[in-house]
Amino acid sequence: MAKLIVHNSGRLARMMVRQDRIQIPVWILSISLLTLVVANAFTNLYPSDLERQAIAETMKNPAMIAMVGQGYGLSNYTNGAMMAHQMLLFTAMAVGIMSILLVTRHTRADEEDGRLEMIRSLPVGRLATLQATIVVAFGVNILLALVTGFGLYALNIESMDLEGSLLYGAALGATGIVFSAITALFAQLTESSRGTIGFSITVLLLSYLIRAIGDVSNETLSWFSPFGWILGTETYVNNNWWPVLLTIGAALVVIAISCYLNAIRDLGAGFIPARPGRKHASSFLQSPLGLALRLQRTGFIAWAIGMFILGASYGSVFGDLESFFATNEMMVKMFAQAEGFSLTEQFLSTLMKVIAMICTIPPLLAVFKLKGEEKRNFTEHLLSRSVSRSRLMGNYLTVSIISGFVMLSLASVGLGAVAISVMDEVIPFGVFFQSAIVYFPALLIMIGIAMLLIGFAPKLSGFTWLYLTYSFFVLYLGGLLQFPEWLGKLSPFGYIPELPVGDMDFMSVSVLTVIGALLIVAGFIGYSKRDIYG
């Protein structure tokens, strides 16, 4: 009986791997290479014990504890301890996102698009698809763990031994496994892929927040978060393996529940019922713009709240920044001294660049919603009516531009409001807003690139995400890894004046705006001429 329930799950797993033969290697190589590059950079940036101990002292700051977790091995802050303490949490979050997207793609997304119904018409077991997805997700995370673990050991860095390196990889793999299980559960509870991703990402963010509050105020609270579990491994110091086993054990329990729910629910249904809509749509909803806004309302609100919270969380750090920098000569050296500006203001200019790139994600998602609707043949109904292609694309562009402006504004409002409340020497609120909104032209170029690719080569639209990742990697880690300046100039974010430290460069901002507008116009031209669904 059990064999019949999961019949042909092996074939389905092979099909999923073939479908993701590009995405899976890209994820694994990106995460593992980033880990190896940063580990090697730490040894060059902090070569002496004295410099590492100076960093260890700053890790005792509550703001830093909230961001990266409680310190361990601070009395002897080796390269391994520093690497695990400062990088494991953020890398684990990236692995969690990877797993969420992978599981959603092969469960609720396939079910929503009707592919699962076709598969179920073949001789496959009722749980075969879910089991195949879990096997693939587990396999990807195990492979990532092995590549990362042996890669770190191969660097031959002192204090980064084989056991610690394998445990570092295992902690990442366990994180991916538990969020794969959580996503599989929400794939049974919700009725759409958007709901599955939304709930899963919410759990991921809440896990980070609970861990942050617990690490600062109540250590017991941290153990209610998967991120608190993996940080309990204390990699390269005490090498505790039991948190990894705890994480995997919890994942297996969640998977068992998911399989039971999958076995008893109807195909296409979910256990969290969708709220019934109105009997009659409003006049605004009957317009293409209203429909585009309605389709993205939930994601828009979720991202808006997330950007505000992100800004507020960084703003809470500003009260301790001056004392943090004062006790750390290495951090002082990382920021070029600008006459008349405090180190806090210089940190603000760097932080805003990172926040701006994160705020670029929701506008791109809004643009690519058009491609997703086209892929599902949903735009055919609109285009068969008195709606032109240009108007249809313009509606999604409008939503994208509004989204970009709102995300930058909310992030700066959250950052400024909280920072002002905790700072002794207050920075005017207008400075926070200006330093964020100045990045809007760079965001406009990213939207333009997405529009251009949708118009001429929709199959290559993933290049936009690769380009954004490149921008984040070069501009965020460029100083740490000592990249040449010209690499940063390959990104539009590299041309934005870093307010408040730098002077406003109206010429650069204007040129970026014009380039973004030209890319958008070219996208309209391409979309109006190419074959839809081709």
Model confidence at 105: pLDDT above 80: yes
The string of pLDDT tens digits covering residues 244-271 is 999 999 999 999 999 999 988 887 778 8
Structure-block tokens of residue 364: 């791109």
Name which of 432, 423, 420 is nearest 322 in CA terms: 423
* pLDDT score for 338: 55
pTM attached to this predicted model: 0.81
Model confidence at 335: pLDDT above 60: no
pLDDT band at 44 (very low <50, low <70, confident <90, very high): confident
Model confidence at 110: pLDDT above 60: yes
Min mean pLDDT across 1-10, 19-28, 131-140 is at 1-10
* pLDDT score for 231: 92
* pLDDT score for 298: 76
* pLDDT score for 316: 74
Model confidence at 432: pLDDT above 80: yes
For 38, the 3-state DSSP assignment is helix
The string of pLDDT tens digits covering residues 291-330 is 888 888 877 888 888 888 888 877 877 766 666 565 555 5
The mean pLDDT value for 516-534 works out to 87
* pLDDT score for 47: 77
* pLDDT score for 326: 59
The string of pLDDT tens digits covering residues 51-63 is 788 777 777 777 6
The mean pLDDT value for 264-287 works out to 75
Residues recorded for the chain:
534
Task: Name residues whose C-beta falls within 8 Å of residue 425's C-beta, 6 or more positions apart in sequence.
Answer: 322, 342, 344
The mean pLDDT value for 91-99 works out to 92
Structure-block tokens of residue 388: 């032109």
* pLDDT score for 183: 95
* pLDDT score for 436: 92
pLDDT band at 485 (very low <50, low <70, confident <90, very high): confident
Higher pLDDT residue, 275 or 252? 252
Q: How far is the CA of 221 from the CAs of 176, 200, 205, 246, in angstroms?
A: 21, 20, 15, 16
pLDDT band at 337 (very low <50, low <70, confident <90, very high): low
Name which of 405, 183, 197 is nearest 298 in CA terms: 197
* pLDDT score for 104: 92
* pLDDT score for 277: 66
Handedness of CA 437, 342, 39, 237 (dihedral sign): negative
pLDDT band at 475 (very low <50, low <70, confident <90, very high): confident
Please tell me the distance from the alpha carbon of residue 491 to that of residue 447, in angstroms, as a whole number: 13
Taking the CB of residue 355, how many other CB atoms lie within 10 A of it? 22
Encode 215-284 in three state secondary structure.
Answer: HHCCHHHHCCCHHHHHHCCCCCCCCCCHHHHHHHHHHHHHHHHHHHHHHHCCCCCCCCCCCCCCCCCCCC
Min mean pLDDT across 128-142, 184-198, 332-346, 509-523 is at 332-346
pLDDT band at 334 (very low <50, low <70, confident <90, very high): low
- Of all residues in the chain, the percent with pLDDT exceeding 70 is 90
Model confidence at 179: pLDDT above 70: yes
The answer to whether 77 touches 52, Cβ cutoff 8 Å, is: yes
3-state helix, strand, coil in the chain (%, to 5): 75, 0, 25
Name which of 303, 304, 294, 348 is nearest 322 in CA terms: 348
Greatest C-alpha distance within the chain: 75
Handedness of CA 13, 18, 24, 29 (dihedral sign): positive
Taking the domains of the chain in order of start, what are their residue ranges? Answer: 11-33+92-269
* pLDDT score for 373: 82
The answer to whether 179 touches 204, Cβ cutoff 8 Å, is: yes
* pLDDT score for 529: 87
Mean residue pLDDT across the chain: 85
Higher pLDDT residue, 141 or 358? 141
Range ranked top by mean pLDDT from 59-68, 155-164, 216-225: 155-164
* Exposure string for 265-295, b = 16+ CB within 10 A, e = fewer: eeeeebeeeeeeeeeeeeeeeeebbebbbeb
Concatenate the DSSP letters of all residues of 311-361 into one string: HHHHHTTGGGHHHHHHT-HHHHHHS---TT--HHHHHHHHHHHHHHHHHTH
**For 294, how many CA atoms within 13 A lie in the half-sphere containing its CB?**
13
pLDDT band at 5 (very low <50, low <70, confident <90, very high): low
Min mean pLDDT across 2-6, 210-214, 366-370, 413-417 is at 2-6
The answer to whether 98 touches 104, Cβ cutoff 8 Å, is: no
* pLDDT score for 143: 97
CA-angle at 157, arms to 154 and 161, nearest 5°: 70
The answer to whether 100 touches 175, Cβ cutoff 8 Å, is: no
